[in-house]
Amino acid sequence: MTAMKDLFALACRQLGRKKLRVFLIVLGIAIGVAAVIGVTSLGEGIRVQAVEQIKASHDLTTVAVSAGVEQGTGSVTLITDSKLAAIEAEKHVLFVAPFVKDAFVTQNNTYLAVTGVSPDYRRVQGHGLELAEGRWFDEGEGEGSNEVVLGYGVAKRLALVEGLEVGDEFAVKIRLYGEYGGGTGGEGQGQEGQGWGGHPKDKPAVFKIVGRLKSSADEHDNQVFVAIARAKELDEKEAYDGVFVKVDDPAFAGSVRARVEGLGLSAHSAQDVIDEVNRLMLAVTVVLGFFSGISLVVGALMVVNTMIISVYERTKEIGLSKALGASDSDILKMFLAECVIIGVLGGILGDLLGLSFAWLIDAVGKPFLVSALCGGGGAGGGGELGLGAGLQAGSITAVTPEILAVGFAFSLVLSVVSGLYPARRAARLNPLDALRQI
């Protein structure tokens, strides 16, 4: 339409006639938009922080595999050697690191959680497993390899409670649960928690402590590590308790995971946690955004009100326009053009205000949030995700171009939709009646 420019020029002129009113209405919408932008950017900022934390502390190229339980039938698919070989054969899989979980009980009835690991396991965990003292155990099988490496916490505890240091030997009972302990070593099938009427069976052994680890600040601190072959031998299991699958690129973690699940096993990666965080934060942001969006409704009502008043004021003008050849849709467009301008102004101002809201939240809200998150935990606090520590470093609001674009679109759509009813009312006026109005 060639007259579009004229239409907008005209609309600008009309709005210019009542600058204060237009300013107030634009401000009303802008504040609504800014509230939504502020809240959304806060949600987005916290989400980004959390995800960054996860990425920093988790290896995204690792897929954790465990035995699969089929829904409904409850039948269990165990991680056998053949499954392991199948996983290893998958594309993009660098190596697999299986592990076996066991339990030892010392003479003094101290319970020790044991993990049988391969050298690859240490590569997967990377920085988490570093020796503080001593050496790793021999990988060889057989009776000679009754060597263990203690996690940071376990080492401390054993030193304190039982006076055991690196180089010492100690006797344990290996606690065997379920029918795996029956000595058959055969099928490797069945349900956990059953067999022998629920009584665990203990098997005596003597281990030598050959090393202890630095703190990894995770569950490995509380583990006793033993060579995986030895562990399997000791607990007479055929299957592994879990496998870490190392992928060459984080991008393929998902597809590898899917193929592992195709084998009937269950698999997880840090991406799951990230997805979870994303889902949670999205829900939180949407809910918060919805409530802050109520202020937008107020803005919309303002537009409706102002435009209705405007239609009343300009009834005669509308009648005149019709007498001069304006069609209903011309009148409709004239009013909607004004709404478009209001929406655009509201969007721009709303984005600017939103940016300053976000800045304000960062400046004022962050210290508050950080102290709230870190307060309970003292020096080592900050929650499980270490969010508090991350917050101190980064910004808690993230105003993305998408958020700004959505804020702008909100303003525009809202004011046009709000203007629809008044504009239709104007368009339907009878020209003669309108012209006669004083």
Partner 1 sequence: MREEINEMIIETRGLRKYYWLGREKVAALDGVNLGVEAGEFVSIVGPSGSGKSTLLNVLGCLDAPTGGAVFLDGEQVDYKNKRSLVALRRKVVGFVFQTFNLLPTLNAVENVVYPMIFNTREKKKGEGRGKRRGEGRSESRSESRSERRAKARRLLERVGLGSRVEHLPSELSGGEQQRIAVARALANDPKIILADEPTGNLDSRTGAKILELLKRLNDEEGKTVVMVTHDLESAKRTGKVVEILDGRISDGRLDGRLDGRLDGRLDGRLQ
* 3 is an interface residue for partner 1 by CB under 8 A: yes
Q: Does 163 interact with partner 1 (rule: CB under 8 A)? A: no
Nearer to partner 1, 223 or 306 (CB): 306
Closest CA to 346 of 37, 17, 22, 7: 22
For the packed helices 294-313 and 270-292, what is the interaxial angle rounded to 10 degrees? Answer: 40
Does the footprint of partner 1 cover residue 258 (CB under 8 A)? Answer: no
Q: How far is the CB of 423 from partner 1 (least distance, A)?
A: 16
With CB under 8 A as the contact rule, which of the stretches 8-16, 232-240, 279-287, 343-351 interacts with partner 1?
8-16
Work out how close the CB of 278 gets to partner 1 at its nearest, in angstroms, rounded to a whole number.
Answer: 49
Does residue 313 interact with partner 1 by CB under 8 A?
Answer: no
Among 317, 365, 406, 420, binds partner 1 (CB under 8 A): 317
Q: Are 399 and 43 in contact (CB under 8 A)?
A: no
The interface with partner 1 within residues 413-432 (CB under 8 A) comprises 431-432
Give the span between the Cα atoms of 93 and 74, in whole angstroms. Answer: 29
Contact by Cβ (8 Å): 316, 434: yes
From CA 95, how far away is CA 244, in angstroms rounded? 9
Task: Retrieve residue 322's tokens.
Answer: 């019709």
> How far apart are alpha carbons 222 and 114 in whole angstroms?
9
Contact range with partner 1 by CB under 8 A, out of 46-54, 124-132, 267-275, 326-334: 326-334
Would you say 7 or 265 has its CB closer to partner 1?
7
Question: Does the footprint of partner 1 cover residue 194 (CB under 8 A)?
Answer: no
**Closest distance to partner 1 from the beta carbon of 320 (Å):** 5
Nearer to partner 1, 55 or 316 (CB): 316
Regarding 5 and contact with partner 1 (CB under 8 A), the answer is yes
Minimum CB distance to partner 1, residue 348 (Å) = 24
- Residues 65 and 311 sit within 8 Å (Cβ to Cβ): no
| Residue of 297, 301, 323, 409 interacting with partner 1 (CB under 8 A) | 323
Taking CB under 8 A as the rule, which mask of x and - marks residues 328-347 in contact with partner 1? x-x-----------------
Binding region for partner 1 (CB under 8 A) out of 144-152, 208-216, 279-287, 324-332? 324-332
Task: Supply angle C-alpha 378, 383, 386, rounded to 5.
Answer: 100
C-alpha distances out from residue 341 to 190, 302, 306, 347, 425, Å? 71, 15, 14, 10, 19
From candidates 144, 325, 378, 380, binder to partner 1 by CB under 8 A: 325
Rg (CA), the chain: 34
Nearer to partner 1 among residue 323 and residue 364 (C-beta): 323
Structure tokens at 367: 């210290």
Treating both helix axes as pointing N-terminal to C-terminal, what angle do 328-360 and 294-313 enclose, rounded to 10 degrees? 150
Distance CA 54, CA 273 (A): 8
| Structure tokens belonging to residue 211 | 């090393």
Q: Is residue 10 within the footprint of partner 1 (CB under 8 A)?
A: yes
Taking contact as CB under 8 A, which single stretch among the options 12-20, 30-38, 195-203, 408-416 is the one that binds partner 1? 12-20
Supply the minimum distance, in Å, between the C-beta of residue 321 and partner 1.
8
Q: Specify the amino acid at residue 314.
A: R
Alpha helices (runs of H) in 106-185, residue ranges in sequence order? 119-125, 152-161
Interface residue list for partner 1 (CB under 8 A): 1-3, 5-7, 10, 13-14, 16-17, 316-317, 320-328, 330, 431-432, 435
